[in-house]
Structure 1
């Protein structure tokens, strides 16, 4: 309703005047009364429309005036939500998982474990500066006589600059592989994390140092940094820890970390095609730290990976190859002769994985998956004097078949069966529950 409609009605009244000359007086009066009533209705409609417009404009002005108050509260807000545009904001998050493992060859060894519980706190000082922290407890109880562990998984400050560059300093996760920086139980398939990204690339691998990262318009994300590295002096040749994960046995995790020798890392990830991720990473640094009398001060550790993930439609496909190397360890291994776990020269592994969203009903999503992986934590050793040669290990091959059932966005129920090619005593059924928020 507007002024144009009122004008049209008045014009219609004048155009109708000639017809009145031939109409009866009663008919003419009736038509005039009708048009007058229509004109009054048009006026009423126009007035109502103008009043509604005024109310809307007033509400918009009130919201605009109140917006700065909502974005900059006087005290921090504890909520799992996106940070405000300005002003301090604190976000609480976390994740956890409880797993059940039942070996098929030895049912009496079945066990249930509160594998981990993590609380994360992110505080945003302003729109460009934030602090990120994660506190982790493993195996339910941490004490001198228990198997549990408490640890600071991340603790760093990050600053974002106007050109899109980001800088951080502190203890942070190394951007290697697909799992290390995205390791919540709701983010991966299977009850247990895959072997390649736990035995070859240790999970969760973090170092203390400084890092830079950025993005390009072409879909490329890059990371680089200088951090602490590994301490080969921690190698225990009498235990099997180094056989399970060579780097996991000598990582320092920011705990009184030896820093005479620092390491460098870099990573590239490309997402230029919807649903496709292609990337790789490299980490390298010496690990002897110039210790007095140590025979492996020139040992260098280098680890790299290449990875891909593609999610067309209901499919989720991924592949990864990782390889590590520890150089200049021949003299060290000569001093370790007779121990079960000498230092390997190389270790490597790869996997292929396919998952399919078979069912989605309400907030339930069922995704069966299959994963095949092959890895070796002692693929080769440096040459030794005749008669002191070290036997390499065979590649272990593991097939995992199972399914993830997501409940909403934050809870997942998992079940899978794992079949080992070499060590068949490790065949097992796994059940798990995980969450993240």
Structure 2
């Protein structure tokens, strides 16, 4: 009896445990199944995230390629100036004198391109007052650490204004008469040039280029051909030495020689002899704190009976310009200048100019200008100029 009872109890317990184990196994399988579904969901989400990351990476690569591609080393700049001129015995004029764009590109660390494209007087074309001009378009190559070369269309290395003439870089609304009528800025030619820096603060330039072609009036400014199907029978040879080793000081001298400034007399009614011409220019700039002074002298000597008969075998000019920066935004200047395109004769034909003015800098690259000019000598007039200019 007792054995039978014990056996029954044991059997019951075994049966209960088996049932419990079976229930636990079923529950465990459900949990595993649920976890497997969660893992599948997570795996799906992970795949979607990876796809999104790949798409984002592709887009970033496209942007990077765009920013680091063919335009990565391309630069754009420019300048412009608006002038208002009011002189006695003349109608007052307002003129957007220059709108200029620069385009440059670095092909490598040693080869670069630069260009300057200009619209003068707002409108160009037949019967319009302005011109569209390509003033610079050259490739510069660094041959080594001290020698570089330019080939193409570039500014002649002479004077103060010719190579650096953005409005915020000089005083006065208009460019001074000496560098306009004697040098004559802005003056560009086509050819080949070299720059050599033997030591720090010393720079030597040499250039072989197209030259001027004056007419029968022998006016230098009118002789600029601007490399527009320019006559190139007689080339020009230019050399300059510049010294800047002392802080605040610049000394420079330029000489140019042209074998025939008339290019064979194409603009003359009758045959003429060759008129070789030599330009000499020297200038100095000295700045101490907020005070600076500029001085420049330029002279043409032209051989030939035709130039001598007009008194234009010698053409000279000079000016002296002190200035003072009152504050970061305000600068004042005074200038006395003389130039004479008929210096070879005995008459008093020099133009004398006395100017005073102020520049107000809204920004270091944006300036408002005003000046008063008193003209004497062969010109007798006075008036004032207002201007606005920028560079970027």
TM range (shorter): 0.7 to 0.9
Alpha-carbon distance in 2 for matches of 1:405, 1:311: 19
Give, in whole Å, the separation in 1 of the partners of 2:121 and 2:77.
Answer: 20
Sort the Cα spacing of 1:331 and 1:411 in 2 relative to 1 into closer, same or farther, 3 A: closer
Residues 42-71 of structure 1: per-residue CA shift (max 9 Å, x gap): xxxxxxxxxxxxxxxxxxxxxxxxxxx89x
Matched, 1:282 2:237: no
Cα distance in 2 for residues equivalent to 1:359 and 1:291: 53
Q: 2:173 aligns with which of 161, 168, 191?
A: 191
Moved more, 189-198 or 215-224: 215-224
- CA contact under 8 A between 1:258 and 1:289: conserved in structure 2? yes
- State the Cα distance separating 1:306 from its structure 2 match: 0.8
2:348·2:378 contact (CA, 8 Å) conserved in 1?
no
Q: For 1:322 and 1:196, locate their aligned partners in 2 and report how far apart those are by CA, in whole Å.
A: 8
What SS does the aligned partner of 1:162 have? Answer: coil
What does residue 289 of structure 2 align with? Answer: 313
Residue 130 of structure 1 contacts residue 158 of structure 1 at CA under 8 Å; is this kept in 2?
yes
Residue 324 (structure 2) aligns with? 356
Secondary structure at the aligned position of 1:273 is classed as coil
Distance of 1:291 and 1:324 partners within structure 2: 18
Contact 1:139 1:147 in 2 (8 A): yes
Cα pair distance change 1:356/1:344, threshold 3 Å: same
Q: Does 1:435 align with 2:379?
A: no
Structure 1 residues 272 and 141, CA, compared in 2 at 3 Å: closer, same or farther?
A: same
Q: What are the within-5 Å matches in structure 2 for residues 202-351 of structure 1?
A: 202-232=184-214, 235-237=215-217, 246-286=219-259, 287-290=261-264, 295-328=271-304, 330-331=305-306, 342=310, 344-351=312-319
Question: Partners of 2:221 and 2:70 in 1: how far apart?
Answer: 41
CA drift at 1:164: 2.1
Tell me how far apart the structure 1 counterparts of residues 74 and 379 of structure 2 sit (CA, whole Å): 48
Q: Does 1:371 align with 2:335?
A: yes
What CA distance in whole angstroms lies between the structure 1 residues aligned with 2:132 and 2:232? 23
What is the aligned partner in structure 2 of residue 394 from structure 1? Answer: 349
Q: Is the 8 A contact 1:288 1:296 kept in 2?
A: no
Residue 201 of structure 1 is aligned with which of 160, 183, 188? Answer: 183
Q: Deviations over 1:77-106 (max 9, x none)?
A: 3xxxxxxxxxxx110010110000111x33
* Corresponding position: 1:128 with 2:110: yes
SS at match of 1:318: strand
Find the structure with the greater CA-based Rg: 2
Q: Say if 2:351 and 2:379, in contact at 8 Å, map to a contact too.
A: no
C-alpha distance in 1 between matches for 2:164 and 2:361:
17
Which of 77, 81, 84 is the equivalent residue of 1:100? 84
CA contact (8 A) 1:120 1:135 kept: yes
What CA distance in whole angstroms lies between the structure 2 residues aligned with 1:332 and 1:349?
A: 18
Distance 1:267 1:149 in 2: 30
Number of residues of Structure 1 aligned to a counterpart in Structure 2: 327
Once the two structures are TM-superposed, the CA of residue 291 in structure 1 deviates from its matched residue by: 5.6
Q: What residue number does 1:75 align with? A: 70
**Aligned-partner Cα distance in 2 for 1:397–1:291:** 32
**Aligned twin of 1:118:** 100
Write the distance in 2 (CA, Å) between the matches of 1:216 and 1:115.
39
Structure 1 stretches lacking a partner, 5+ long: 1-68, 78-88, 335-341, 382-390
Query: Do residues 380 (structure 1) and 375 (structure 2) align?
Result: no
Residue 214 of structure 1: CA displacement?
Answer: 2.1
**Do the aligned partners of 1:288 and 1:297 also contact (CA within 8 Å) in 2?**
no
TM-score, normalised to structure 1, is 0.71
RMSD: 2.2
| Residues 90, 373 of structure 1: alpha-carbon distance in 2 compared, 3 angstrom cutoff | same
Task: Note if contact 2:206-2:240 (Cα within 8 Å) is conserved in structure 1.
Answer: yes
Deviation of 1:114 after TM superposition, in Å, equals 0.6
Following the alignment from structure 1 to structure 2, what is the Cα–Cα distance between the partners of residues 393 and 117? 37
The unaligned stretches of length 5 or more in structure 2 are 1-63
Separation of aligned partners in 2, 1:110 and 1:423: 21
Distance 1:331 1:316 in 2: 42
- 1:344-393 deviation per Cα after TM superposition (whole angstroms, max 9, x unaligned): 10110111111101123xxxx10011011111111015xxxxxxxxx644
SS of corresponding position for 1:249: helix
